[in-house]
Structure 1
Amino acid sequence: MLFGKEHVERYQATDGAEGHDWQGTTAALLTTTGRRTGTKHTTPLIYQKYGDDYLLVASKGGADAPPEWYLNLQSNPEVEFQVLGDKFRARARTATPEEKPDMWRVMTAAWPDYDEYTKKTDREIPVVVVERA
């Protein structure tokens, strides 16, 4: 199973032929800019298409602290996104309370464990909307 740095490297090397289809769902690559270092960080994440946009969930498996990539995009929402061979600049934002219920349903259909993650933490787990620049 691909994970972490190896997942990113295989995905990039094969334009997603290896790494896009992952454990019965789909993965994309999100590149954020470190809020303290300014360094680029690429993370493989489960995604779903939503109209012209893409959805991600900042779950960190239900941990009490949000994932680093989410903290980074809050500081700088200008990101790079890759789905298969399609690499593009984008802007990432947190879904509004009005948007989130439908988006959450889309994401839990792709990865049912998200519902379990909400039971592990008091933190509100955000849905992130990635909009092509």
Structure 2
Amino acid sequence: MEELGLDFVIMSPEMLIPLPTPKQDYPQATLYIVASHWASDGEYGSYEIPFTSLIDAQRQFHDDLREEQDGGSIDSWRQKSQFVEEETQNSYECYLDGEYCENHFSIELKSFSLPMAPCFMENVAGLWQGKNARGLQRAG
């Protein structure tokens, strides 16, 4: 029984308990995510980096794009006739037409609304107060 995966477990309806809907509307903040997906000659990877500051997210987006353009595959792909490039203010994508799965690069700056539960805000406030208290101790 211990070796069975969860997809083989059958539960009766009375065993399933729905989670309650939050009783309050949480304050909203904006979360920014820089997401990149790439493949080059069959090797591939991706990452997503979250930010609470638009300026920091934009800096990461532009630094990562510049690094890929200067030292990555884009420069060599640009020499080929099947090179395709698409760009907006918050996204960049390029690939070799007919070879997308093997040779592509994309980066995007996305934003999401982040509902902030009271326990999250208390944690953030505690971190901020702790940082400020350490700063005052060093200054004193």
TM-score normalised by L of structure 2: 0.22
Larger Rg, first or second structure (1 or 2): 2
Structure with greater proportional helix content:
2
**Taking structure 1 as the reference length, what is the TM-score of the superposition?**
0.22
